[in-house]
A and B are shown apart, each in its own frame.
Chain A
């Protein structure tokens, strides 16, 4: 069984604690996307990254922190390299089992207003993994020219 690193810094050395305040979230997402742009990732990659970061942070606060104080913060960590980008979002909630989520594209769910964030993250990222307790998601995006496709 794969043993993902237990230390957030091993995979993504840049780290920031973020409150649920739009300017801070916006600035953090923009920082990562700007680093990707500077590293030569194409615009489509930047679109994908922006969406995945926003959805992961939103899930952390909306679902992970549902029963916590509004001022509880999340941790965002990232590493941008020429061939891959790793982004880790960890909340302070109890976690969840991603396998139990209903398919939002199923006919019985298509008119429900929520439940699409993880679907979009999976669609746009090369891989995503949750820690055992389900309160930390690690998203990896491979450079489209270097991913071997």
Chain B
């Protein structure tokens, strides 16, 4: 387990791990690294992980945070798992569009929609 205080809110429901962020600004590289490590632990603990990451209340997101999401996505794919992103603020969604990562990730308006989409 990470020794530092968790940067994530994690709940498990109907086989889907729902993840939210404690921080409104995901900019601090040390925090981003910790987030990546915490998510990796979740993925490692599941044979076929289903992860729904909510960006509710997130105001700012750096390219380093996007990089961590990609690493997480690759880990989940490697385990034949599924990843959904949800509740992304329009300004942050634009960051996904600029980087074309809106094509890489499956993004839903609401967490409910995201959870329904899991196969």
Residues of chain A at the chain B interface (Cβ within 8 Å)? 22, 26, 44, 47, 50-51, 54-55, 58, 62, 104-105, 110-114, 116-117, 119-120, 123
Residues of chain B at the chain A interface (Cβ within 8 Å)? 27-30, 60, 62-64, 66-68, 70-71, 73-74, 91, 95, 98-101, 103-104
Report the separation of the CA atoms of residues A22 and B25 in the bound assembly, to the nearest whole angstrom.
12
Q: In the complex, how many angstroms separate the beta carbon of A35 from the nearest chain B beta carbon? A: 18
Tally the A-B contacts, defined by beta carbons under 8 Å. 56
Partner of A22, one of B30, B62, B71, B74: B30
Report the separation of the CA atoms of residues A62 and B62 in the bound assembly, to the nearest whole angstrom.
13
B63 lies within 8 A of A55 (CB)? yes
B60 lies within 8 A of A50 (CB)? yes
Q: In the complex, how many angstroms separate the beta carbon of B89 from the nearest chain A beta carbon? A: 9
A54 lies within 8 A of B101 (CB)? no
Closest to B36 in A: A113
Q: In the complex, how many angstroms separate the beta carbon of B20 from the nearest chain A beta carbon? A: 21
Report the separation of the CA atoms of residues A35 and B42 in the bound assembly, to the nearest whole angstrom.
41
Closest to B71 in A: A113
B68 lies within 8 A of A113 (CB)? yes
A-B contacts besides A112-B70, A119-B63, 12 pairs, CB < 8 Å: A22-B30, A26-B28, A54-B60, A54-B62, A58-B62, A58-B63, A104-B99, A105-B99, A110-B100, A110-B101, A116-B99, A117-B62
